[in-house]
Structure 1
Amino acid sequence: MKVVDLSVDVAGGFAARLMGGSGLRVVRPRGGGPPVPTGDDLLRVYLDAGKEHLPCPASPSGLVDAEDLVFLTFDRGAYIGLPAGWTVEDLPAGCVRVTTSSFGTTGPYRTWRGGPLADWAAGGYLGITGDPDRPPLIGPEHLCGYVAGYTAAIAAEAALRHRARTGEPQRVDLSTMESMLSVHQSTFSRLAVGIVRERTGRYTEVYPLVVRPCLDGYVSLGVVTDAEFDRLAIAVGRAELAADERFADAAARWAHRDALDTELDTFLGARTAEQAVAVLVEHGVAAAKVVGPYEVLRNPQLAHRGFWRQPAGRGGSGRMPGDPVPAGVTLGSSPRSDRRRAGRARHRGALPLSGLTVLDFTAFWAGPLATRWLADLGADVVWVERPGSRAEPGGTTQDLTAEVMRVFHRKMNRNKRSVLLDLKTAAGRAAARRLAAEADLLVENFRPGVMAAFGLGPAEMCALNPELVYVSLSGFGASGPWAARRSYGPTIEAASSVEGRTGYPGGEPLRLGHTLPDATGGLAGALAALRGLRDRDASGRGGWFDVSQLEVYAALCGEEILAASLTGQDPPRIGNRSRHGGVQGVFRCAGDDAWIAVRLAGRRDLERLAEVTGLDGLARAARTGPRDDAAAEALIAGYTATRDKHRTAALLQDAGLEAFAVLGPAELLADDHLRARGFFVTARPGDTLPGSPLHSEPPLVDPRGPAPRFGAHTDEVLGQFGLPRPEIAHP
C-alpha cells in the first residue's frame, strides 16, 4: 500500500505528510495540480516533505492501485486539482479515499468557494478572537487547514482499519469547518447553559491565564487553580497576595484582574522574558516566553528532541518541523505466543475499533479528547478515575461554571465507561496492572514520571503486555530540559510561535479566542494510537508513543518557521492581512457586531468583485501596480458597511469569490449547512453539542453515546476482567 496525494489544499497535503511520517510511501504526480496556494513555494516545500514526485500518467490506473490510500480536494461543487484527463470515477474501486474541503461534499455550502479565511470564519474561531471593539481577528493564516489535516489523518487510519477488518473500501468526506468546530473545548458547553462566548481580547475566563509584557517582550502565565496562584505569589516575591481577599479565588481574581496585573507587572517589568520564566518555572508555575517563528528555532527542548528537519533540494539551507507524531518505541519483549486475548471489550457493531480495549488515564482536555476519538471509533474506553476527582451532583445547580463542566463532561467523555481506582493504594495499582495486561491501548497525559511512580510507566506496562500500544501525551515530551515543566494550552501557544504571530498590526500578541494546543494534542494522541495499532497488526508488537503537545502545535507553523530560518527574522503581526499575496480582511456589515470575511486571491478576483459591486476603484487597483491593499480594503469596507452579512456572502459566493459571514456560537448551532450534514448531536434534552467531522458510509464513528456517571462501571469492568471484589476501590 502507498499513499497517493492528489490534494491541493493544506488539509489534504498535511494529512498525507503525516501518513508519510508513519513510514508509508507517499507519492504525488508531477503536474497534478497547482501549488497550495498558487505561488507559495515554502508552503509546498513543507507539505511535500518526504513525498516522491512521479511522472503523471494519462489515467489513474498508471499510478493508483486498489490497495492505496488517496487524498483528494473538493471545492465549489467539484473535485479540483486532478491531473488533466483524470476523474474520481476512474480511481480503483478498492482504494480508500479521503476528501478534504472547506465545507464538505454535501450541504448548502458544497458549491461555495473555500479557503483559509473562510475556514477561520466558518470554524467559529474568527468570531471569538480579538478585541471586542475591533474587527474579529484570525491567527496564522493556514492554521485551520493544519487542524483539519490532523483530523484527515485520523480519518485515513480509521478507514484503512475498516477496510482491513471488512474488505470494504471507504470514502470519507471531511470539512475544515466541522474539524474546527469539533475542537472547541467549551464554546458549545457554555452555550448550552446560556453563556455565549464572545471576543475578550487578551482575557480568558480564568485569571491570570494571560500574557503580560516584560522588559524585552511578553510572557505567558498559566495559573488556574488556587494552589497555582499561591505558587505564583511566592515566585514574584509577594507571598502576601495569596491571602489578599481581592485574589482569594478564581472569581475574585477575575473581578480584580486589572489590580492583579498591576501587582504582577512590578515583577515582570524588571526582568527579561527568560529571567521571568526561569523564576516562575522554578516555583512550579506554567510559563513561557512569547516567541516568533525565528526564535522558536532556538528552543532547547525542540533541539534536544531532534524535532527540526532540513528541506530537501535547498542546498542544506533552512529548517522546518519534523514529524509531530514520532515513531513508536518498542519496549517489551516478543509477544507471548500463548497469550490469550480476554475478548472482554464491548463490541459496537462494525466500527473500526470495536472489540478493542483502551485504558484511559487522562484528565483535563488533550487526553480525554484523544480517548473520546477512540471511543467514537468503537473502542471500549475504560476511564480510570480517582476517588474524589469529580462530583456527580443531582438535578441542576445555580453555579453556571459547574453546569458548564457537566455539559463538557457529557461532550468529552461520551461512549466511555468509568472505573474508580485509587492508584495511591497497592490494591488500586494492582488492579490497574491487571487491566493493562489485557488492554490493547493505554493513553495517559500526566507529566513525565507520574505513571512510572505508580509502577504503570511505559517500560513496565509494555514488558507486562508486549502487544500494548502505550500513548503518553505531555506538554513537552518525556525527555529534554523542559520535560518536567508544567504546561497549559496558552503557554504552549506562546512557545510555539502561534501567539507571537497573532495580533493587530503594531499591537501586542493575542491569544486565540479559544486555546487550541490541547485540542491538537488530543488529535495527535488519537492519531498515535491508531498508528500504533496499524504497526501492531504488521509486527504483532505494541510500543510507546511519546507525544509532545509543543511539537504537535509547532508543526502547524511549518512554512512560517521555514521562511524565518531563511530570512533570520520574525515576521511582524499583520492582523487579518495575508502573507501569501491575496487581498483579504474582515469587514463590518449592517447590524450589531456583524462582520464578513473576504479573500481575493489575485487580480481576477479583484476584477470580479469590482463587477459585482460596481466599485470601479477596485478594477483600477487590479490593473495598476504596486497594489494598494489599504485602498482596496477601504473600498470593500465602504461597500459592506450597510449590507447584511449573510446576503453579501451569498452574493459574492455566487460570483465565485471566497467570502463567509463571521458566525457566533448560536448562529453556528442554527446553521442550515451543519444541520443538513447532521453535525451537531443531542447528548440529552437541551444539550446540542458537536458530533464528529467524519462522514462516510458505512459510518466510521458513532458520537451519540452517553457519558458515564462517576465510577458507574467499576464492578462491571473489573468483574469482566476477573478481578476479585477486594481489589475494587470505592469512594
Structure 2
Amino acid sequence: MRGVRVLDLSDGRAGAYCARLMAMTGAEVVVGEPPGGSELRRSRMVDTGAGPVSAAWEYLRANTASVVVDAGASLADLAAGFDAVVLDCQGDLAPVQADIAAAREAQPRLVAVAITPYGFTGPKSAWRAGPLEHWALGGHMSLNGEPDRHPLPGGGPWLTHLVGATAAIGIQAALTNAATTGDGDLVEVSALEALANAHQWSFSLYTHNGVTKRRWGNRFGEQHHPLALYECIDGWVCIAAVSVHQWEGFCIAMDQVELLAREDFYVPAVRFDHADELDEIIAAWTATKTVAEAVTALQDNQVPSGPVASLDDMLASPQLAARDYWVNLDTPPAEAAPGDSAAGAPVSVGSPLSDEMTVVTARPRVPGPPARIDGATPHFRRAPALGTDALVSATLTADAAAGDAATTRGQEPIWPEGVKPLAGVRVVEFTIAWAGPLVCRMLGDLGADVIKIEHPTARGLAMPPAEKIVAERGNWEWGQLPGPLSRNGIFLNNDPGDDWFNRLGHWNKMNRSKRGLCLDLKAPGGREVLSRLVATADIVVNNYSPRGVRSAGITPAELREMNPAIVTLDMSGFGATGPDAERISWGPVLDAASGLASTTGYPDSGPYKQGIAFPDVVGGLHGTVIALAALWQHWRTSNPVAVDLSQLETAIAVAGDQFAEASMRRTGTPPPPRRGARSPDAAPAGVYRCRGDDAWLALTVTDDEAWKALAGALDDPTCGQHWATEAARQADHDTIDAMIERWTLTRDKHAAAAELQAAGISASAVMTIADIVNDDHSTARGLMVDHARPDGQPQLFPGLPFRFDTTPTALSPAPTLGQHNNPILTELGYTAAEIAALYDTTTIAQAPSD
C-alpha cells in the first residue's frame, strides 16, 4: 500500500506479522524498539558458525526500518507523521487505551490497531496468551492429534501469524475509510475473535446440530474420507478423494474397482463411517509405493494428492524455484560494519544458495511476497540493525516515490465513494469451498457489493436426493451426529426442509454479506451476462485451478477485454505458473505439500495434518490482504491489476521463520524433531490433563519471573531452585511436566486457567467449540451473531474478526440460490422479458437443475 507510513511498536509475533504484510504490500514500515532492542531479535536463534542469527527477526522484520524509542515518549508524539500504528499488548490494557485515545485526539486521521488476546472488554480482557495459548483458546488445538492422547498445536506459531494477518485487513479497511472520510480509527483485534473466524464448519456443526467437533488423528473428521495422511515406503502421502469422480479415480488408481460396486461409498461421510475398513486397504496399497509412485498414480486419475514434504524439500522445490519464490538475503549481520544498516543490503530473488557455503550458510532463505501483484515490484531488504531509521526510511520513501512515478498516469486517486470502507466497490466472485469465499465474505462485510456467481448445480454436489435425507433423519436428537447422507449439509436441527440447497450451514457461514446470481456461463446468453457484469465491476476473484479459469473463460486477459480497468485475483492451489500449476489440490493436500504437516506431531510420531483444512483459511486471509492492496494500487493509479496468488505459498509464509531457520542449518544437520506442545523458546510449555473427560490446559512459562509465579501456584515441595533458568527447565522438562500435571489433574480446566492467569502466567483451557460459544467472555463480547433469514430461521455464526470505533461494516445473511437474479440483471439493463427468456433456457435459475 504505497503512500502509507506505519509505525510498529509491537514486540510480539502477531504485530510483527501484521507489519510484515503491510511492508510486503508497499507500505513504509518503521519498527520502534527499546534501547536494548526488541525481544524478537532474540527469538529462534540459529548458530550459523558466523555468529548467532535470529530466524524470527530476519523473516518478520525484512523490509522494515528500525528506530530506538524513548521509553518516556508518548504514543501521540511517536505516531506523528504516520498513517497507522501497530500495538501488540496484553495484561492491564487501560494505559494502552488511554494512550491510543490521546494519540487519536492529537492526530484525527491516525489508524491505530491494538492486538490483544481477548479484546479490551469482557471478563478475560486482562488475560495473557502466547502462540501455544492461541492454539488452545481459539478451538483449533481441540481438533488436532489423536483422540486418546493430548491435543496438538500446529508445528509453529502459525495461528499467531493469522491474528496478525487479520489485523492487517483491519488496518487496510480503516485506511481506506480514512482516505474517503478523513477520519482515522481504532481497530481492535482479539486473538479469540480472529481465530474463531479461522474455522470452516466447526461452529456450524455445533450451532446447527449441537455436535462438538473432535479430533480424529490424521483423518478429516466426520465429513469426508479418504482425506488423510498415509505412510509409503519412503515417506508420507496426503490423499483427498472427496467428490464422486475423485472417488472413482481413487479406486481405479489403487486397482480396487470392486469398491465402486459399493453404492453407499459414493457418499463421503459413509466412507468416513467405514474409515477403519478403508484404511486397511489404502495403507496396504501405499505401503508398496514410494511417495512419487503414489502421487503419480493418483494425480493421473485426477485425485488430489501430494507428498508430505519437509521444510528442506520445499526449500529445494522445483515449483517454487520456477516461480522465483524464495528470497536469499545476501549480507549476513556479521558483515555489516558498526553503525551501518544491514537492512539496506541488496538481495537476490530466486537465485541459488552459494555452492561454496557447504558447512554453514548465514544467508537466510525466506518466503517472498504472499502473491504476485502485476505492476508492483517488491523491494526486499534485510531486517534492520537497531536504530537505523534515518538511512532506511529515506531509502524506502525514495523507492516508493519511484514506483508511483512508474505506474501512475498523473491523475488524482480514484477512491471509492460511500460510507462503508468498500461502498461503491463491486466484486464478482467465482469461488468454491473455503479460501475464495472467505476473501469475498470479508470484502462484503466491509461494504463491497459482492456478487457470487453460482452454477445451478453448485450447491448440490455430493448431496443425495432430499427424500433420502429426510428418511435418514428418523429419530435424530439434538447433539447427535447426523447420519452420513445429511452430515455434509449441516442443516439447522438436521432438517433439510423443502429448499435444502438454501439451508446448508457451512455454505451460509462462508457466504454472508453477498448477493447471489445463479448463472450457467455456457448456456445461451450466459457469456453476455458475464460481460455486462464484469464491465460494472472493480475486481473479479476466483479460486479455481488454472485449467478451471481457462474453461470458465475468466482469465485476466479475457476479463480485461470486458473491462480494461479490472482488478483480477486468481488464487489457485499452486499458482498460475510452474510445473505443478495444473495439480489438483485441497487444503489438507497443501498442508502436506507446504511442509507444515511435517513439523506437527508428537515427539514419537509421524507427521500430522491439522483438524481443519488449515491452508484454506491461510489463503483466504492473505487473499483478502492482497485484494485490498490490489484495489489500493488501482485507486492510486487507475491501472488494471492482475494478481496471481498461490495458496501453497501463503501456507509457507505463516511458517517463514522456520524456513529461514532450516536454510541456515549446517549442511547435513537433520531437522529438529517434532516437539508436540513444547517450545524451543520457553520452558515449561505444554498441554496438561485436567479433571474431567478429555479436559486439558495449555500454559507457557515465558521467563524466569513467570516460573517463580508458577512455582508459587503449584506449591510443590519438589519445585527446586535448580530450575530457576530456562536452560535448566528445558533439560528437566519431563520431570516438571509430571509435577504440573499432578496439579492440573485436581482442577477443572477453566478454573486452573483462571488461577494461573491471576498469578500472571500465560495459560488457557484447551477450548472446544462448545466452550467458546458458551463462554461468559464470548457472550460479553458478542462473539456469535445471528444472521436470521427473512423467514426467521436463525443462523448463528462468529461475527467480524475485528472491531472498529468508527469505520462502518455491513453484515447480512447469505443469499438463497439465485435470490438476486432479477435485481442484478435489471441493473445490467435486461428487461423483464429478457430475464424470463434466460429462465426459460436455464441460463439463470433459483433451484438446482434436475
| Structure-1 residue corresponding to 2:728 | 626
Is this contact kept in 1: 2:593–2:648, CA < 8 A?
A: yes
Task: Decide whether aligned partners of structure 1 residues 387 and 337 sit closer, same or farther in structure 2, where only a CA change above 3 A counts.
Answer: farther
In the TM superposition, what is the alpha-carbon distance from 1:255 to its structure 2 partner? 2.9
Aligned partners of 1:496, 1:451: CA distance in 2, in Å?
A: 23
Alignment of 1:698-713 (within 5 A): 698-703=806-811, 705-713=812-820
Moved more, 291-300 or 638-647: 291-300
Aligned partners of 2:375, 2:289: CA distance in 1, in Å?
A: 41
In the TM superposition, what is the alpha-carbon distance from 1:530 to its structure 2 partner? 0.8
Aligned partners of 1:99, 1:461: CA distance in 2, in Å?
A: 39
Task: Decide whether aligned partners of structure 1 residues 27 and 37 sit closer, same or farther in structure 2, where only a CA change above 3 A counts.
Answer: closer
Q: What SS class does the counterpart of residue 211 from structure 2 fall into?
A: coil
Q: Does 2:17 align with 1:14?
A: yes
Alignment of 1:166-177 (within 5 A): 166-177=181-192
| Structure-1 residue corresponding to 2:352 | none
Alignment of 1:201-600 (within 5 A): 201-204=217-220, 205=222, 206-244=224-262, 247-311=265-329, 313-314=331-332, 317-329=363-375, 350-390=419-459, 397=470, 398=473, 399-404=486-491, 406-567=504-665, 568=667, 569-600=670-701
Task: Decide whether aligned partners of structure 1 residues 621 and 586 sit closer, same or farther in structure 2, where only a CA change above 3 A counts.
Answer: farther
| Structure-1 residue corresponding to 2:157 | 142
| Structure-1 residue corresponding to 2:400 | none
Aligned partners of 1:79, 1:482: CA distance in 2, in Å?
A: 51
Is this contact kept in 2: 1:174–1:693, CA < 8 A?
A: yes
Aligned partners of 1:149, 1:337: CA distance in 2, in Å?
A: 34
Q: What SS class does the counterpart of residue 125 from structure 2 fall into?
A: helix
Aligned partners of 2:68, 2:740: CA distance in 1, in Å?
A: 43
Aligned partners of 1:499, 1:25: CA distance in 2, in Å?
A: 34
Is this contact kept in 1: 2:600–2:676, CA < 8 A?
A: yes
| Structure-1 residue corresponding to 2:706 | 605
Q: Does 2:106 align with 1:106?
A: no
Aligned partners of 1:687, 1:714: CA distance in 2, in Å?
A: 23
In the TM superposition, what is the alpha-carbon distance from 1:279 to its structure 2 partner? 2.2
Q: Does 2:180 align with 1:178?
A: no
In the TM superposition, what is the alpha-carbon distance from 1:241 to its structure 2 partner? 2.8
Is this contact kept in 2: 1:158–1:700, CA < 8 A?
A: no
| Structure-2 residue corresponding to 1:5 | 8
In the TM superposition, what is the alpha-carbon distance from 1:480 to its structure 2 partner? 0.6
Aligned partners of 1:312, 1:450: CA distance in 2, in Å?
A: 39
Is this contact kept in 2: 1:335–1:466, CA < 8 A?
A: no
Question: Which residue identity does 2:158 align to in structure 1?
Answer: L
| Structure-2 residue corresponding to 1:42 | 55
Is this contact kept in 2: 1:7–1:81, CA < 8 A?
A: no
**Identical-pair percentage:** 35
Q: What SS class does the counterpart of residue 108 from structure 1 fall into?
A: coil
In the TM superposition, what is the alpha-carbon distance from 1:402 to its structure 2 partner? 2.4
Aligned length: 719
Question: Which residue identity does 2:450 align to in structure 1?
Answer: V
Moved more, 623-632 or 637-646: 623-632
Is this contact kept in 2: 1:215–1:271, CA < 8 A?
A: yes
Aligned partners of 1:495, 1:553: CA distance in 2, in Å?
A: 9
Q: What SS class does the counterpart of residue 105 from structure 1 fall into?
A: coil
- Give CA deviations for 1:258-307 in whole Å, capped at 9, x if unaligned: 22222223331122212221222222111111122222211221111111
Q: What SS class does the counterpart of residue 422 from structure 1 fall into?
A: coil
| Structure-1 residue corresponding to 2:798 | 690
In the TM superposition, what is the alpha-carbon distance from 1:691 to its structure 2 partner? 0.6
- Give CA deviations for 1:494-547 in whole Å, capped at 9, x if unaligned: 011111111111112111121211111111222221111111111012311111
Is this contact kept in 2: 1:127–1:662, CA < 8 A?
A: yes
Is this contact kept in 1: 2:690–2:745, CA < 8 A?
A: yes
Aligned partners of 2:591, 2:193: CA distance in 1, in Å?
A: 22
Q: What SS class does the counterpart of residue 242 from structure 2 fall into?
A: coil
Q: What SS class does the counterpart of residue 525 from structure 2 fall into?
A: helix
Question: Which residue identity does 1:323 align to in structure 2?
Answer: P
| Structure-1 residue corresponding to 2:749 | 645
| Structure-1 residue corresponding to 2:209 | 193
- Give CA deviations for 1:109-136 in whole Å, capped at 9, x if unaligned: 1111121121111110111211111111
Is this contact kept in 1: 2:309–2:593, CA < 8 A?
A: yes
Task: Decide whether aligned partners of structure 1 residues 437 and 77 sit closer, same or farther in structure 2, where only a CA change above 3 A counts.
Answer: same
Is this contact kept in 1: 2:421–2:807, CA < 8 A?
A: no
Q: What SS class does the counterpart of residue 569 from structure 2 fall into?
A: strand
Is this contact kept in 2: 1:153–1:527, CA < 8 A?
A: yes
Moved more, 451-460 or 626-635: 451-460
Is this contact kept in 1: 2:229–2:239, CA < 8 A?
A: yes
- Structure 1's unaligned 5+ residue stretches are none
Is this contact kept in 2: 1:46–1:558, CA < 8 A?
A: yes
Is this contact kept in 2: 1:613–1:639, CA < 8 A?
A: yes
Question: Which residue identity does 1:595 align to in structure 2?
Answer: W
- Give CA deviations for 1:369-418 in whole Å, capped at 9, x if unaligned: 11100110001111111122225999995334323471222211112111
In the TM superposition, what is the alpha-carbon distance from 1:245 to its structure 2 partner? 5.4
In the TM superposition, what is the alpha-carbon distance from 1:310 to its structure 2 partner? 2.2
- Structure 2's unaligned 5+ residue stretches are 45-53, 336-361, 377-406, 474-485, 492-502, 846-850
Is this contact kept in 2: 1:597–1:660, CA < 8 A?
A: yes
Aligned partners of 2:550, 2:80: CA distance in 1, in Å?
A: 45
Q: Does 2:144 align with 1:129?
A: yes
Aligned partners of 1:655, 1:511: CA distance in 2, in Å?
A: 34
- Give CA deviations for 1:8-39 in whole Å, capped at 9, x if unaligned: 11111111111111122111134276323854
Q: What SS class does the counterpart of residue 36 from structure 1 fall into?
A: helix
Aligned partners of 1:480, 1:580: CA distance in 2, in Å?
A: 37
Aligned partners of 2:164, 2:94: CA distance in 1, in Å?
A: 17
| Structure-2 residue corresponding to 1:730 | 844
In the TM superposition, what is the alpha-carbon distance from 1:247 to its structure 2 partner? 3.6
Question: Which residue identity does 2:617 align to in structure 1?
Answer: A
Moved more, 282-291 or 246-255: 246-255
- Give CA deviations for 1:605-661 in whole Å, capped at 9, x if unaligned: 222111122123334342376331111111000111011211111111111001111
Moved more, 486-495 or 44-53: 44-53
- Give CA deviations for 1:43-101 in whole Å, capped at 9, x if unaligned: 1221101111134367356653345211111200238999xxx9873575231111112
Moved more, 244-253 or 386-395: 386-395
Task: Decide whether aligned partners of structure 1 residues 36 and 224 sit closer, same or farther in structure 2, where only a CA change above 3 A counts.
Answer: same
Task: Decide whether aligned partners of structure 1 residues 46 and 65 sit closer, same or farther in structure 2, where only a CA change above 3 A counts.
Answer: same
Aligned partners of 1:311, 1:105: CA distance in 2, in Å?
A: 39
Aligned match for 1:715, one of 822, 839, 843: 822
Question: Which residue identity does 1:553 align to in structure 2?
Answer: A
Aligned partners of 1:356, 1:564: CA distance in 2, in Å?
A: 42
Is this contact kept in 1: 2:187–2:803, CA < 8 A?
A: yes
Q: TM-score, normalised by structure 2?
A: 0.80
Aligned partners of 1:61, 1:53: CA distance in 2, in Å?
A: 18
Aligned partners of 1:81, 1:618: CA distance in 2, in Å?
A: 36
